[in-house]
Amino acid sequence: MEEKQYHITIQLNGEPRAFTVGEQETLLHVLREKAGLTGAKKGCDLGECGACTVIMDGRAVNSCCVFAVSADGKRVETIEGIGTEEHPHPLQQAFIDAGAIQCGFCTPGMIMAAKALLDRNPHPTKEEVRQAMSGNLCRCTGYEKIEQAIGMAAEVVARYAQGKGEQA
Ligand code: FES
Ligand code: FES
Residues 39-57: pLDDT tens digits? 999 999 999 999 999 999 9
Number of alpha carbons in the 13 Å side-chain half-sphere of residue 128: 14
Q: What 3-state class would DSSP assign to 22?
A: strand
Query: What is residue 89's predicted lDDT score, i.e. its pLDDT?
Result: 95
Pocket test for ligand 2, best of 41, 53, 102 (most atoms within 8 A of CB): 102
Query: What is residue 82's predicted lDDT score, i.e. its pLDDT?
Result: 95
Helix then strand then coil, % of the chain, to nearest 5? 40, 15, 40
pTM: 0.94
pLDDT digits (tens, 9 = 90+) for 89-148: 999 999 999 999 999 999 999 999 999 999 999 999 999 999 999 999 999 988 999 999
The pLDDT-based confidence of 168 (bands split at 50, 70, 90) is very low
Query: What is residue 83's predicted lDDT score, i.e. its pLDDT?
Result: 92
Decide whether any atom of ligand 1 lies within 6 Å of the 51 Cβ: yes
